[in-house]
Amino acid sequence: MDMATRKWNKVVMLLVFVFPAFAFYTAFTLAPAFGGMWFSLTDWNGLNPVYHIVGLSNYAEAMGDRFFLKSLWFTAKFVLYMLVLQNVLAILLAVLVEALGRSKVWFRTIFFMPNMLSLIIGGFMWMFIFTRVFPYIAEKTGWMLLDQSWIGDPRYSFYAILALSLWGGVGYLMIIYIAALQGVPQHLKEAAKIDGAGAFAVFRNVTLPMIYPALTIGIFLTLNGSFKVFDAVYSLTGGGPGRSTQVIAINIFEEAFSFSNRYGYASAKAMILFGIVVIITIIQLAVMKRREVQA
Amino acid sequence: MSMFNEQINRAVRTQTNHSQVRMKSRIGSWLAFIFLLATAAITLLPIYMALLNSVKTQGEMLTNILALPTSLELGNYADAFRKTNYLRSLWNTIVVVIVGLTGIVLFSSMAGYKLSRTPGKLSGLLFGLFVMSTLIPFHSIMITLVRISKELKLQGSAVGLGMLYIGLGVAVAIFLYHGFVKSVPRELDEAAVIDGCGEFRLFYMIIMPLLLPISATIVILNTLWMWNDFLLPLLILTDYRSYTLLLSTNMLFGEYNNDWSAILASLVLAMLPVILLYLALQNYILHGIAEGAIKA
């Protein structure tokens, strides 16, 4: 066998091995992605086979769409809260659980359990807590703080959605942080303690820098996940009352599938979401790279 | 004399300092433990309340939501079982996951292995094409994806949904396999080829078993994802006979809005398979989660 045939054989084998995955990938990821870009430039309504190219007018309309902008703002607020609370809580739980003895396993099992469940199921269960259990407790104990319209009033339902999302998400990050903590060499902590550092100082100056890579992952996962939040809002408020708790994903979903069937317009909104995710990821990776080098 | 006193004083002072520190750290760890207990209680609260009230009659639930049930009202479960068409929904969910997993594991391991072993531009380009898409949010492709699955007659079928998951899941899996294959010694490939082993036999008989650790991680991550995914089934499974557990539960919730006893029973039924699986396999699951997140 000469060199040329050998090389040719290698290429053929590569293609044969990659083909099945590539076929499915092209049909159900690549094609819809490019299709979305194309349809965002049209007035396609999903039913009518005839559609027209309308240029960037869908994008222009989205930028002036009051409800879309409101959903962007609502999502941004949600992401910010999640970013801080989810990571702080997960690190706190990871540190405290790791410090335990035999009961460690129990706590780990419990804290991760909600992550096994869909937030649709979790949302319905929390709905029961918010609309039945809390009012009941408030009535019996006079603890009126609990007696709010958790689902019906957008001021409170924001926190209800946040609580549900934290409930369903903290355990996952906790597992990642625990794995990172286990990688911190014990002798470094001992050395710092002998030098007279308190528990907090040890955490701040030894542990935290050592789990920096995990923090990158945690922040990345939170950002990515919470920008696309859908289930938690769908199951608790459905975006309501009215459209007051709509997040981007719900807004796109309704534009395409329930209110108007304007596929082209909804596609433009979806592309804006894509753009936001890409920009944030790039910024985040750049910032994190620089900090890791410094540390 | 005064020197001696001074020394004793100092000794006593350090003693108290030490026990103060020890005391403080003991109080600290008790506070930490109480905090963990409270957080655990909040975490379990919705699941506990759902279980508790799913065996009460609606009337009993209204009079005392926190008390233990006076008698077991299993009628709620019979109701929920029937209304969600439980066995069919469970079966549909299993079909989706099995179709998806088979495709993802089989196709991604092949592709990830070959892409990792073949140097050159074409290989790099293909790999880049797969990795690129991991940034695309699902919502950006769902509208056209629904259209495509309608054209391909995949709508309304659990098998069809499983096939969509293959297309959506291979990219991340290929990325994980690609990284893992680097730790598998190349000499194995060469030795097998010299022994006259064909490419496919080499892959399935020798390489595939060595990929088991990463395959386990991929199986765990993808099972969780497909089992709990809601939006895609909502869009694709247009026929109620193909409803998954989640869709049936969602439908029941919509139809019996205020009948909480039946709803809670259906939620418990929907959770049951996952919780049992979790308790049985939690070490593997937690390990897989940590692995997957660190590598991806």
Cβ atoms A232, A164 nearer than 8 A: yes
Which class for B23: exposed (0-12), middle (13-18), buried (19 or more C-beta within 10 A)?
exposed
**Per-residue DSSP letter, B65:** S
Within an 8 Å CB–CB cutoff, is residue B272 touching chain A? no
The CATH class of A58-294 is: mainly alpha
The minimal CB distance from A13 to the residues B114, B230, B274 is found for B114
Contact status of B282 with chain A (Cβ, < 8 Å): yes
Query: Taking the C-alpha atoms of B281, B282, B283 and B287 in order, what is their torsion angle to the nearest 10 degrees?
Result: 110
Contacts of B111 in chain A (CB under 8 A): 17-18, 20-22
Q: What is the pLDDT of residues B4-42, one digit of tens each?
A: 555 555 555 555 555 555 666 677 788 888 999 999 999
B250: which chain A residues are within 8 Å (Cβ-Cβ)?
120
For residue B236, what pLDDT is reported? 92
Question: What is the C-alpha to C-alpha distance for residues B250 and B84, in angstroms, rounded to an integer?
Answer: 9
B176-226 pLDDT, tens digit per residue, is 999 999 888 888 777 777 666 677 888 888 888 999 999 998 999 899 999
Residue B240 near residue B87, CB atoms below 8 Å: no
The pLDDT score that the predictor gives to residue B18 is 54
In terms of pLDDT, which residue wins out, B54 or A2? B54
- List, in sequence order, every residue forming a beta bridge with A42; answer none if it has no partner: A53
Contacts of A234 in chain B (CB under 8 A): 230
The tens digit of pLDDT for each residue in A264-295 reads 888 899 999 889 888 888 887 787 777 665 54
CB contact under 8 Å between B122 and A14, yes or no, is yes
Task: Tell me the chain A residues in contact with residue B149 when contact means C-beta distances shorter than 8 Å.
Answer: 28
Share of chain A above pLDDT 90, in %: 34
- pLDDT category of residue B1 using cuts at 50, 70 and 90: very low
Measured in angstroms, the CA of B291 and the nearest CA of chain A are apart by: 9
Which residues on chain B are in Cβ contact (under 8 Å) with A238?
none
pLDDT at A295: 46
DSSP codes joined into one string, chain A = --HHHHHHHHHHHHHHHHHHHHHHHIIIIIHHHHHHHHHTTB---SS-S---B-TTHHHHHHHT-HHHHHHHHHHHHHHHHHHHHHHHHHHHHHHHHHT-STTHHHHHHHHHGGGGS-HHHHHHHHHHIIIIIHHHHHHHH--GGG-S-TTTSHHHHHHHHHHHHHHHHHHHHHHHHHHHHHTS-HHHHHHHHHTT--HHHHIIIIIHHHTHHHHHHHHHHHHHHHHT--HHHHHHTTT-STTTT--HHHHHHIIIIIS---HHHHHHHHHHHHHHHHHHHHHHHHHHHHHHHH-
User: Does residue A36 sit at the B interface (CB-CB below 8 Å)?
Assistant: yes
The residue behind tokens 């292995």 is B113
Task: Judge: A116–B147 Cβ closer than 8 Å, yes or no.
Answer: no
Return residues 210-249 of B near A (CB < 8 Å): 224, 227-231, 235, 246, 249
What pTM value is reported for the model? 0.87
Q: Does A24 touch chain B (CB under 8 A)?
A: yes
For the stretch B40-87, pLDDT in tens is 999 999 999 999 888 887 777 777 878 777 777 788 888 888 888 899
